[in-house]
Amino acid sequence: MNNTKRPNKFSLTYNKFINIGHSLSFLFLKIRGLQGGRDSKLESITCNWPNKLLLGNQCEIQNGVDFRIWHPFNDNCYIKLGNKVFIGHACEFVCNEKIIIGNNCLIASKTTINNTGHEYKGNAAINTQPTTSEPVILEDDVWIGTSCVILQGVTIGKGSIVAAGSVVNKSIPANEVWAGVPARFIKKRI
């Protein structure tokens, strides 16, 4: 016996309106300069400079994702997503230098990728010291678990996995599983 209820007409109509809203949001981002994105699905996202977001084909980006680009007139400050990238809800990208996500990557909800830091020498107030930044690169076929933090200067090698809740502060070789705070090697991916 199947106890699964079918959606009522109100629910189906509401869902159609939500999908229309997402389509309009995607269109407005395209008008503002978003590049690429053929056959992609974007829900409600925030992007202060859509012309610096290069979206691959067949991507899915869920609600509440924030793409924050700090230097839109710097050619090295952009976010590039490969093809078939999935980004879960409430992720945050803080870009002061390029962030590159390869093809077929999965980034779970509430993950932060931040390639910006701050100098902290003892002879001056921290807020008066210069920022630091280094690119972040996720190569193809990378899976980032829920609520991870990826910091500046990190490259995550092809086929690697980062377990939920990890903080990645150094680069990860290809086909490895890492976990923890800070993230450390757990095992090879076979």
Q: Let me know if residue 16 belongs to a domain.
A: yes
Q: Let me know if residue 116 belongs to a domain.
A: yes
Residue 147: domain span:
9-188
Cis amide leading into 182 (omega within 30): yes
Q: Let me know if residue 76 belongs to a domain.
A: yes
Backbone angle region of 65, left / alpha / beta, with phi > 0 → left and psi within -120 to 50 → alpha: beta
What's the pLDDT tens digit per position in 1-23?
567 778 788 777 877 777 776 77
Q: Let me know if residue 3 belongs to a domain.
A: no
What's the pLDDT tens digit per position in 141-155?
999 999 999 999 999
Q: Let me know if residue 113 belongs to a domain.
A: yes
Pick from 18, 11, 135: which is nearest to 80 by CA? 135
What's the pLDDT tens digit per position in 25-83?
788 888 888 888 889 998 889 999 999 999 999 999 999 999 999 988 899 999 999 99
Residues 81, 67 contacting (CB under 8 angstroms): no
Which amino acid is it at 59?
Answer: C
- The H helix count followed by the E strand count for the chain is 1, 22
Q: Let me know if residue 184 belongs to a domain.
A: yes
Triad 80, 88, 106: Cα angle to 5°: 60
> Hey, what's the torsion of the CAs at 50, 51, 57, 60, to 10 degrees?
-10
Active site residues: 118
pLDDT at 9: 82
Separation of alpha carbons 23 and 41, rounded Å:
8
Separation of alpha carbons 128 and 139, rounded Å:
35
* Count of structural domains, the chain: 1
What's the pLDDT tens digit per position in 110-137?
999 999 998 888 889 988 999 899 999 9
Q: Let me know if residue 17 belongs to a domain.
A: yes
CATH of the domain at 15: 2.160.10.10
Q: Let me know if residue 4 belongs to a domain.
A: no
